């Protein structure tokens, strides 16, 4: 009985506190705060969108990575005042109390008995603002390491825009050393001569002036049969086209694997599983196909015991 009375009294006290809180609800910073209204991550949306595209343009991605890194550095050096002004405007609009930046607060992680204090300005600027930007920069350096940047920079030399203005024989020949498993010793010895002959010929060929990216360049080389004349250059182009597959497309494929091959459906053979993966990852293409055409194609492959209605044939 005593335990019951204690529990009931506790519940009543909680209800009273909740009722009093409902009279004057304090502003909920978590619910009101929208990071997009305050933090303008420099170049984040553009870089995220271009890296998630299937037809990834290496040149644009490389340029955006450098731009985002530079803007993050500028934001860290001189972006605090503008950022704090945006935060103040947000807090005023949402009726949120803005702390005085000159007030002193105890150092976090230290005993209060030590009496060590810092200002709110130091806490929010040095311990939160700078730290957040530094973590983003470290993550970008990890994702786009020096080795990755070198490879992307070399592949960007294949860009056909402005009459192959970015074409660099030394950087492209370096790719043959990086991908040494795809090029023999003889290939690495002759690739420079082939690159020099290739760039002279495509610059004189008017049909290559319409190429806008590496994809269209590869298609034009096949149409003009230049891939047979310059097989080593075409192999570099193939590597450039395969490179985007190792980023966003692979992540989508692994996500699709978890959806298709579940615990209840774990005995799918490799051929059937591969077909399902293609249908799922390229579902936008399959949505454009007519079901009637698929049925007719399937029926025409061989004769079957069952016959479809006449309106399907």
The residues with which 105 forms a beta bridge, in sequence order, are 118
Residue 9: predicted pLDDT: 38
pLDDT band of residue 5 (cuts 50, 70, 90) is very low
pLDDT of residue 49: 67
For 260-306, what is each residue's pLDDT tens digit? 888 877 788 888 888 888 888 788 888 888 888 888 888 777 777 77
pTM of the model: 0.53
149: left (phi over 0), alpha (psi -120 to 50) or beta: alpha
Instruction: With beta carbons less than 8 A apart as the criterion, state whether 85 and 98 touch.
Output: no
What is each CA distance from 119 to 63, 98, 122, 127, 140, in whole angstroms? 39, 14, 5, 11, 31
Higher pLDDT, 17 or 307: 307
C-alpha dihedral sign at 181, 182, 184, 189: negative
- Domain edges within the chain: 44-144, 158-242, 263-312
Pick the range with the lowest mean pLDDT from 9-18, 79-88, 245-254.
9-18
On whether the CB atoms of residues 190 and 232 are closer than 8 A, the answer is: yes
Residues in the chain: 313
């Amino acid at each position: 009985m005593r335990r019951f009375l204690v529990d009931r009294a506790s519940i009543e006290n909680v209800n009273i506190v909740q009722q009093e809180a409902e009279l004057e609800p304090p502003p909920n910073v978590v619910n009101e705060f929208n990071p997009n209204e305050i933090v303008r991550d420099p170049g984040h949306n553009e870089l995220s969108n271009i890296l998630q595209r299937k037809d990834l343009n290496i040149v644009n991605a490389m340029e955006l990575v450098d731009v985002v890194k530079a803007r993050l550095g500028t934001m860290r050096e001189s972006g605090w005042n503008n950022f704090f002004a945006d935060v103040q405007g947000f807090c005023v609009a949402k009726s949120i109390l803005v702390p005085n930046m000159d007030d002193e607060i105890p150092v976090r992680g230290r005993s209060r008995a030590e009496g060590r204090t810092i200002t709110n300005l130091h806490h929010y600027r040095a311990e939160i603002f700078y730290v957040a930007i530094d973590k983003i920069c470290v993550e970008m350096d990890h994702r786009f390491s020096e080795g990755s940047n070198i490879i992307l920079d070399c592949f960007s030399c294949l860009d056909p825009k402005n009459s192959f203005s970015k074409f660099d024989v030394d950087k492209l020949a370096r790719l043959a050393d990086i991908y040494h498993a795809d090029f023999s010793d003889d290939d690495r010895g002759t690739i420079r001569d082939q690159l020099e002959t290739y760039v002279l010929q495509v610059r004189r060929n008017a049909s290559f002036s319409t190429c806008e990216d590496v994809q269209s360049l590869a298609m034009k080389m096949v149409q003009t049969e230049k891939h047979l004349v310059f097989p080593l250059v075409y192999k570099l182009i193939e590597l450039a086209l395969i490179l985007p597959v190792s980023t966003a497309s692979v992540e989508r494929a692994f996500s699709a694997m978890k959806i298709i091959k579940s615990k209840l459906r774990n005995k799918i053979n490799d051929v059937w599983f591969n077909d399902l993966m293609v249908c799922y990852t390229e579902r936008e293409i399959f949505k454009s196909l007519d079901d009637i055409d698929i049925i007719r194609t399937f029926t025409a492959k061989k004769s079957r015991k069952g016959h479809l209605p006449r309106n399907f044939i």
